[in-house]
């Protein structure tokens, strides 16, 4: 409840243009750690900060799974050499 980072974890290492992630794995450690909330972060090696259709789909899946589990998804960030983009600030989350 203090809003402190418990731990940063790598969920998956993707290929050149895709990365598979499933809500089951995404929340497994958060459940073990009894986390109240999570922030997801992924990179775009292309440099684009625009969320792709798969990015938007997995964000919605993660948000729905978090609601069922009682673990709030605070944000989903996209990072690249050009900077970062918060899906919460973009009002996508």
- Give the pLDDT score at 4: 81
5 compared with 18, residue with greater pLDDT: 5
Over the stretch 23-82, which tens digit does the pLDDT of each residue have?
999 999 999 999 999 999 999 988 999 999 999 999 999 999 999 999 999 999 999 999
Higher-confidence position of 34 and 16: 34
- pTM, entire model: 0.86
3-class secondary structure per residue, the chain = CCCCCCCCCCCCCCCCCCCCCCHHHHHHHHHHCCCCEEEEEEECCCCCCCCCHHHHHHHHHHHHHHHHHCCEEEEEEEEECCEEEECCCCCCC
For residue 5, the model assigns a pLDDT of 84
């Amino acid at each position: 409840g203090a809003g402190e980072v418990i731990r940063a974890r790598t969920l998956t290492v993707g290929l050149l243009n895709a990365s598979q992630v499933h809500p089951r794995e995404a929340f497994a450690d958060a459940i073990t750690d009894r986390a109240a909330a999570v922030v997801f972060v992924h990179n775009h090696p292309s440099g684009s900060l625009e969320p792709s259709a798969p990015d938007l789909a997995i964000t919605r899946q993660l948000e729905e799974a978090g609601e069922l589990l009682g673990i709030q998804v605070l944000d989903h960030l996209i990072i690249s050499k050009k900077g970062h983009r918060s899906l919460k600030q973009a009002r996508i989350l």
